[in-house]
Each structure stands twice: as C-alpha cells, then as structure tokens.
Structure 1
Amino acid sequence: MKRSRKKQQMTVYLDPDLFKAVSDTATRRRQSGSLVVETALSVFFSPEEGTGQAALTRRLDRVDKRLSRLERDTGITVETLAQFIRFWMIMTPALPETSAAAARAQAAERYDGFIEALERRLATGRRLYEDVLPPDAQVSAKDTF
C-alpha cells in the first residue's frame, strides 16, 4: 500500500534576484528556502480580510499609510496657518484708538462671513491641498479616512 505525503513537490524557476532574496531570507532566519517560499505563497493566497499575522500586517500597513497622510495634512494645515499669521502681522498696521470700536464691529462681521464660507467649503468635501498641491501629489477620496 502506497502512503501519500503530506506535502507535494513542485519545481519552479525563479528570477536570479528573487532566488537570491529567498536564499538570503532563509539563511538569515535559519530556515529552509522551501519554508520561506511556502510562507510567502500562503500569505499571497490568504484572503484579504483573513485572520492571522498576514492579515494583521496588511491592516497595520493601511493604518500606517493613513497616519502618514494625516501627518502630512496636519503639517500642511499648520504651515498654512503659520504663513497666514506671519503675513497678516507683517501687512496689518496698528489701528488708531479712535477707530478701534468700528474696526471691532467690522471684524465681527467679517468673521461671520469667514465662518459661513468655511461651512460652505467643508460641505463640499473638497480639501485645500487639492487646490494647492499638483495633481500628481494629491490623494484620492478613497485613500483618506
């Protein structure tokens, strides 16, 4: 009676660079090249929302990309605000005391207008960096939170 083996043998041909990468990984981890390739293939064929270390790694990679985008967006926001404040302080002269009350009233009116414009902008879902950055540096809506 013939006994079947648990694993089956397959011969594959690899690109020399890929073969070297598999060999180096196997040597570094003190494992066989066969085990390295088997692990890589099981990760490749595992379902996207599966369980285990491969799925966790994919999810962590997505979170890392999102955090990187968030960090970039925050940096753009902070830099924009800092540049605006600097420009405003350089360009705005001090008001004489006699016109300060009228200026405060006008500032309150302009602030209300700013808030309305901000609400309209936020309602569109469009971001400032989409207008500022070149198209090849922009992120699509599906890449954001």
Structure 2
Amino acid sequence: MAKPRVNIRISTKLYAQLCEAADKPGVTKTAIVEDALRAWFDPEARSVLEERLLVRMDAYDQRQADMERDLAFTYETLAHYVYYWLTRSEPIPEGERDIAHALGRKRFEYFLGQVALKLGSDQRSPAEHQYAESLEVVEQP
C-alpha cells in the first residue's frame, strides 16, 4: 500500500535544516518527518522527556528549600545574637554617646569594606564550601 502524500508549508530556516539533514547518506526527508511526527504523537517519548525535566525541577526545588532553610537559620542566629548583645551591653552615658556613635560608624564602614572584599574575592567560608559541594552532588547525572 502506498503512503499518503502530504503537502505542508514550513519556514525557510526549517526547510534548510531538513535539507541539510537529508543530505547525509541513508537519510531521507520522509524519514526525518516521520520520526518527528512519531515522537510528537508518542506519549512514551514525551513522558521520558517530561520525567527528566521533573527530576531536574525536583532537584531545583530541593536546593531552593535548602537555601530558604539556611537563610531562616541565619536570620534566627542574627536575631539571637542582637538580642543577647543588647541585653548584655550597658547603656552608654550621655556624654560619651557622640564619641561612641562616631566610633560605631567607623567600625561599621570597616565591616562593610571587609564584606565587600570577601564578596569580591574567590575565597569561601567553610559553610560556602559545604554548600557548593552539596550542589555538585545534586547536579551530577
């Protein structure tokens, strides 16, 4: 039984790609189009691709959840530190406040400079190394 003939219109770019692929020995335009249509209509082929995509999305969701958890721990740690520091520090006498504020500003600027240096360099803290290693384990196929 002869195969039905189908006339379709495709973009010039797709047609050029089809012709280029069909120039290889043993490959025909018909075979390429049939394979493409078979893949389009075959739910098995689509489910394999979807499954691979879902695995990657699940890994992404897990990494996102880990980052959110780590960030929550960081916020909580900082909150406890600030609370502890504020409850243990004595109030500054009225006459020394201007000097303390100036010193605090100077120390804060130094702190920001150190943070900028750290973020601008390739040096990592132990926690950053551990996090990077956990990402490498998840991303391996």
TM-score of the superposed pair, with normalisation by structure 2: 0.53
Which has the greater radius of gyration? Answer: 2
1:58 matched to which residue of 2?
A: 55
Query: C-alpha displacement at 1:91, in angstroms?
Result: 2.2
Gaps of 5+ in 1: 1-38, 132-137
Change (3 A) 1:142 1:128: closer
User: How many equivalent residue pairs?
Assistant: 91
Deviation per CA, 1:16-39, whole angstroms, max 9, x where unpaired? xxxxxxxxxxxxxxxxxxxxxxx7
RMSD (Å) for aligned C-alpha atoms: 2.8
The match for 1:143 among 123, 128, 135 is 135
Task: Give the Cα separation in 2 of the matches to 1:83 and 1:70.
Answer: 20
1:123 matched to which residue of 2?
A: 120
The amino acid of 1:72's aligned partner reads: R
1:81 matched to which residue of 2?
A: 78
The amino acid of 1:62's aligned partner reads: A
The structure in which a higher percent of residues are helix is 2
TM-score of the superposed pair, with normalisation by structure 1: 0.52
Q: Which has the higher contact order (CA 8 A, sep 6+)?
A: 1
Q: Percent identity among equivalent residues?
A: 26
Gaps of 5+ in 2: 1-43, 137-141
